[in-house]
Structures are given as C-alpha cells and as structure tokens.
Amino acid sequence: MNNLIRSILKTAVYFLDQTDRFTSDVRDRVAEGVDRAADRVSDLRKQAEDLYSGEDHTVRNVLTFVAGVGVGIGAAMLFAPASGKEIRSQIGDKVQEIGGRVRERFSTRTSTGTEGR
C-alpha cells in the first residue's frame, strides 16, 4: 500500500513539475509577444509624432482640399437635374471665369520690389 501511495505521489509531483514547465514556457512566450507589441506601438507612436510635429503640411492640406472639391463636383454632376451638355457648358464657363479672376489678381499684384520709390 505504501508503494502505491508513493507511486501516486511521485506521479502527481511529476505532473505538477510538467505543468510548471509548460506554464513557464507559455509565460515566457507571452511576455516576449507583449514586449514585441509594446516596441511596435512605441515605434508607431514615434513615427506619428514625427509625421505631425514640426513639418509644414500645406501641400498635403491643399491636395486634400482639391480632392474634396473634385469629389464634390463629381457628386454634383451625378445628381444635377440638368443634362450632361448643359453641365459641361456651365463648368467650362465657371472655370473660364475663375481663371480670369486668378489672372487679374496675380497680374495686378506682381511686383518688382521697386514700387513707391
């Protein structure tokens, strides 16, 4: 009977030892994964900080605005009650008008730096 109890206890100790090794391995793998994820998040945060701090994003903002205007014009053309020919004519007239205004504004504002002398 003592040998049976001793064998059962040894088996229980063996299983506990194996479980401890297994959980230790799992714990180590999880810790490594968490460390890698934390490093990656830190790198991404630094990249985001570098992207949005200190740089002038005027070009990006202008391009975003132009893209938004383009999408708006496209949506207006799709949902407009006028025919395609009428819309194209109106758009052409509007582009001509805006182009004329831009030319006028920049032609009167160009300076050589010698005005007023």
pTM here is 0.33
Q: From the DSSP assignment, how many helices (H) and strands (E) are in the chain?
A: 3, 0
The more confidently predicted of residues 96 and 75 is 96
Structure confidence at residue 74 as a pLDDT band (50, 70, 90): confident
Structure confidence at residue 111 as a pLDDT band (50, 70, 90): low
At 112 the pLDDT is 56
The domain ranges of the chain are 1-55, 56-110
d(CA 33, CA 41): 12
d(CA 84, CA 79): 11
Q: Is the pLDDT of residue 68 over 80?
A: yes
